[in-house]
Amino acid sequence: MTLLGIDVSHWQGEVDWFAVARGNVKFAFAKATEGNVAVDPTFKRNWAGIQEAGLFRGAYHFARPGRDAETQAALFASTVGVLGFQDLPPVLDLEEDDGQSKEQVLGWARRFVEKAEKLLGRQLMIYTGAFWRGALGNVNDPFFAARPLWLAGYVPKPVLPASWARSTFWQYTEGKNNGPAQIPGVRPCDQNKFEGTADDLAALCSPTPGPTPQPINLSPTGAAAFPGAMFVWPQTPPASGPAVSRWQQRMLELGFALTADGVYGPESKAACVAFQKDRGMSADGIVGPATWKQCFGT
C-alpha cells in the first residue's frame, strides 16, 4: 500500500489543510527553520493546521553547514517544541554545502543530529539524494545509516545514497515532473510516497503523546515549572514573554548580570552560558529543562 504526502514551506502560502486531507493525503511535512536564525513564517499555522486536519505531521530544518550546528539544532528544537503521538521523525534537510568541504558538511550534520536528538528526544531522519551521492562523495557512514532516509529523486527509479539500503519516505516529485497528483487546497508542491499503512506511519511516531507544557506556576519558594519551550539565541523572532522574564529575574537573584526585559537575546545567552559553566553543565546557552531545573531547583 502506498500513502501520499506533501511537504510545504512559505513558498506555498496559505494552505487549506482540510481540503488537502480530502485529497487523499495522509501525511505532511512543514519547513520549520533554516540556518541559525530563520523561522519559516508559515510554520506555526501549518503545524497546527496539519494536526487539525487529522494528518500525520513532520517538521524539517534546512541545513546551513557554514554556520554553527548546535545553534541551528537548538533553534529547530525550540521552534518545533514537544512532539506528540502523530508526529513523524524530525528531519534534517541536507542539500547544500554552504561552501564547506564534504568532511566539514558531514561533521556538521553529525553535530546537528546529536544535538537535535538530545533536545527533541526523538531520532532524526535525513532528507537527501543527489547531494549525498555527488557533493558528499556518496559516503557509506554507519552513523547516518542508523537513521531513516527521506529520499529526494524525481525519476521513476531513484538511486539510493550509499549509506542506506532503503528509504522511509520518497519525495518523488517537486509538483511538475514524475506524475504529481492533483491535490486541492495547496499550490503545486513537493509530493511524497510512503510504502505502508497508517499503522506503519504511526509506528514511526512517538508511542505515547509527549508531556503537555506546563504554565508558569510560582511556589512560595520562588520555584517555577519549566514552560515547555526552550529559550535560544539567535532566533527570529526572539523568545519572549513572562517565562523569559521569570527566568531573567531568577538569574538576577542568583547574581548573574542581565536585563530582565522579557526577551531572550545575546545578553541573556551570555548570562546563561556563565551560569551553565558555574554549575558544571554543557555551556550551550540554551535554557532547556536541565538548565531550568538547575536555576529553579524544580
Of the residues 93, 97, 190, 284, only one is catalytic, namely 93
Tell which residue, 188, 186, 193, has the closest CA to residue 172: 193
Annotate 234-264 with b (16+ C-beta within 10 A) or e (fewer).
bbeebbeeebbbbbbebbeeeebebeeebbb
Question: Please, are residues 97 and 130 in contact by the beta-carbon 8 Å criterion?
Answer: no
Write the CB contacts of 205 (distance below 8 Å, at least 6 apart in sequence): 56, 83, 84, 85, 86, 87, 88
7 catalytically annotated: yes
Active site residue 95: yes
| Catalytic-residue membership of 14 | no
Spot the catalytic one: 16, 95, 117, 141. Answer: 95
Task: Name the residue among 159, 158, 161, 196 with its Cα closest to residue 177.
Answer: 158
Inter-residue contact 127 to 104 (CB < 8 Å): no
What amino acid positions are annotated as catalytic residues? 7, 93, 95
